[in-house]
Structure 1
Amino acid sequence: MFLESYFSQIIATLILLIVLIGIRQIVIVLVKKIGRKSGINEARIHLIQRYSTVTIFLIGLLFFSIILGAEPQDLALVFSSVFAVIGIALFAIWSILSNITSGVIMFFSFPYKVGDKICIHDKDFPLEAVIEDIRAFQLHLRLDNGNLVTYPNNLMLQKAVTLVQKDAIDDGHDAI
């Protein structure tokens, strides 16, 4: 009786799960290929893969609620309420989200890699250092004197940056 009543929803849900799992696998493979082709370290590749999985999961929840019979007006009310609350919360933590977004952008289009020596042209805090690690929120930069500086990802995209020496860590030579 239960299966007869909800047969179409069960089938639609199974199809949705298969499609979402397939899309997730394709996205994971594409991100891994792009990351490896660009020479990006595994930690950043896994981070972008997690972001993609969460996005696919949220889209899946939307389609699942439609399959279960939620009305568009109800979904609009729920989403507008949720986005209003999230908008207020995000305004409070905008810099964190800015750094995460910058980290995703840097994954796909950042011309520098771990080990490169760069110069950041900032009038208040000029900086020349070797990129030690690229994280979700910031870069770890090692100064010539050995100090570690964490530099926010969003500032990295806002400032002019010059490559001083490629693979400075591996070379062991002074900057040119």
Structure 2
Amino acid sequence: MKYLIVGLGNIGPEYHNTRHNIGFMVLDALAKASNLVFSDKRYGAVVDMPLKGRRLILLKPSTYMNLSGFAVRYYMQQEKIPLENVLVIVDDLALPFGTLRLKGKGSDAGHNGLKHIALTLGTENYARLRFGIGNNFPKGHQVDYVLSPFDEDDWSTMPERLEAAGEIVKSFCLAGINITMNQFNKK
């Protein structure tokens, strides 16, 4: 079985380690834990990750956040991956830092990456792992906040939160979304 695991973010050094790039960071940690290295391919950086008889295609789109749907659609078609085997990892302002929530579908909640994926695929019925980045910013400064680096407090627990996100990704592929949501969303 094949799975497409998409970490949302923006390419370029100016976006490295920013809150909006948490999807990239989750996939980087997952790949590093398995000694895998991403290769630059069409529409993004990609690596194949074997997992107990399954094949996980980890994708960090190079389309920039607002055009993420193009990369998702391309790899779904190229690899013949059904929608139920797609998981998108995304930053979420509505959750406190480090909170992880897996959902089987939902609205874009104003997130441009999710908005473009839904528009491109023609549905909001795809799984997403929401990684809380908090919302400690003055009114009207949301863009500055999501494009800024994490603070020291966040970095102190980042390795553990990235590892927990990786465990959710693996469980999604091995146990399915319902069991994974029941196990991890309570924490």
TM over 0.5: no
Higher helix share: 1
Q: TM-score, normalised by structure 2?
A: 0.26
Higher strand share: 2
The structure with the largest alpha-carbon Rg is 1
Q: TM-score, normalised by structure 1?
A: 0.27
